[in-house]
Structure 1
């Protein structure tokens, strides 16, 4: 993990805050009440996890698209698979909080497979996969706590 640029590490870890806040509002009635009274229902679990998780999963499609632009051969394949996370969100997230959280979690796990593919073909930086594993564990755990906890 030492090879991850400091700015990337800082921003990646900061990007986990909405997931952790969703867990906090799920397990703490005080955090839930304060958030509801100051920010409203969009910022408490499960809504904050579902909306932010959807944004991030779709954002990751754009990251993969950028990696696809480095492909020398069969670039169209990498461009095609890079849009899967965004399409996953579009087609599978939004039916209800439980199913949406499950599909988001599965989407983030599937994204790791795509991350591996791009790393295997040397389209992503060498530090990318370990970094993504760390973030994915945190995201999927947060979704699981709110969905099943």
Structure 2
């Protein structure tokens, strides 16, 4: 497996920050108060994680769609069909309360990782893709777990 490009790694890790911030505001009263008073309540607690998680699942649908453009015939059709699943999952499954929405996001990110693996195995994703996606998924799941457990 080749090394993850530095820019992809840095931007990927930066993309985890809203999940980490949400987790921090759930365990730190100071951070929660700061977020609520300075940024607004939408940027504190599980709310930032849930909204951002839905955005990221939708974004990743676009990434998978881009990978599907490298395929041909039936594999392309399958790739396009699979690529929309994370966005649809986010749309239909995150409307409940914060705990159930968090659980559904966890399953959504696990499903996304399975799709990442499929596209990678088909040779549509870069060689380093799974190394990056496993790292980011583990970090995101850890942050979402804070919201589900607390």
TM-score (norm 1): 0.97
* 1:73 Cα deviation after fit: 3.5
In structure 2, the partner of 1:100 is 101
1:114 matched to 2:121? The reply is no
Q: Structure 2 CA distance, aligned partners of 1:2 and 1:35?
A: 39
Structure 1 residue runs of 4+, over 3 Å off? none
In structure 2, the partner of 1:22 is 22
Q: Check 1:29–1:2 CA distance in 2 against 1; reply closer, same or farther (3 A cut).
A: farther
In terms of fraction of residues, the more helix-rich structure is 2
In structure 2, the partner of 1:145 is 146
Contact conserved, 2:12 with 2:136, CA < 8 A, in 1? yes
In structure 2, the partner of 1:66 is 66
* 1:126 Cα deviation after fit: 0.6
Contact conserved, 2:89 with 2:108, CA < 8 A, in 1? yes
Q: Structure 2 CA distance, aligned partners of 1:2 and 1:116?
A: 16
1:28-65 CA distances to partner (integer Å, 9 max, x unpaired)? 00111111111110000110000001100111000000
Q: Structure 2 CA distance, aligned partners of 1:53 and 1:45?
A: 13
Q: Structure 1 CA distance, aligned partners of 2:50 and 2:136?
A: 16
In the TM superposition, 1:47-62 aligns within 5 A as 47-62=47-62
In structure 2, the partner of 1:10 is 10
* 1:2 Cα deviation after fit: 6.1
Q: Structure 2 CA distance, aligned partners of 1:132 and 1:77?
A: 21
Q: Structure 2 CA distance, aligned partners of 1:94 and 1:115?
A: 25
* 1:95 Cα deviation after fit: 1.4
Stretches of structure 1 that go unaligned for 5 or more consecutive residues are: none
* 1:91 Cα deviation after fit: 1.1
